[in-house]
Structure 1
């Protein structure tokens, strides 16, 4: 072999040992990095879960508050609409009653009151007839 062949890097035992040592160190560094990343990923995942839970609880509070606000507003609108509807119904009843009175048609309450008055007058008339001296003379 020539001097050049003996001095070539492929034939240098120290260089081969250095390369093997470097490769082993790279391999070990990779394993260490993998283990560290796995640990950090677990901690990172746990932190993300914790932050997600905090965000969820905050969001629930805000959403719950918004829902209560909307429900209150719906209640107010419902009350206003009911009040407006009641007023409208009352005005309609008054207008219809006025039109019926102008036509000479009385309301049911007025007719029922008149019927009660007639019944009272009839019973009073019957009582007076029964207690009058003429009625006693006719019976005899």
Structure 2
């Protein structure tokens, strides 16, 4: 019976050893994969920084600059719309007054010219 226990203990020890080796190898594989991914991430980040620097040097605006411009355009559009609503009522009244005022002096000028032309004859 002592032989059976020793044999079972040896088998259990071997199973634990094999299991621990598999866990160790899986950990090493995960670590290697993480290092590889980190390297890819780092090189990608470095590439993006270089591209952004090159674009900036030739005058291409950054995403933040474009977003700021969009925000400014929206603000100016809102201000323009607010200003555009107020003068439209005044503009509608002004052209009618201008048209009638423009016709009256023109009529006076033609009447003034006719007598002057008659005097010359």
Band of TM-score, shorter chain: 0.5 to 0.7
Higher Rg? 1
* TM-score (normalised: structure 2): 0.59
1:139 corresponds, among 60, 84, 92, to: 92
Once superposed, what is the RMSD of the aligned Cα atoms? 2.6
CA distance in 2, matches of 1:126, 1:110: 24
Mapping of residues 1-140 of structure 1, within 5 Å: 53-131=8-86, 134-140=87-93
* TM-score (normalised: structure 1): 0.52
Report the number of matched residues. 93
Summarize deviations over 1:98-132 as a string: whole Å, max 9, x none: 1011112224453344233213211211112223x
Summarize deviations over 1:14-67 as a string: whole Å, max 9, x none: xxxxxxxxxxxxxxxxxxxxxxxxxxxxxxxx9987765443322110011111
In structure 1, stretches of 5+ residues that fail to align are: 1-45
Task: Out of 116-125 and 63-72, give the one that drifted further.
Answer: 116-125
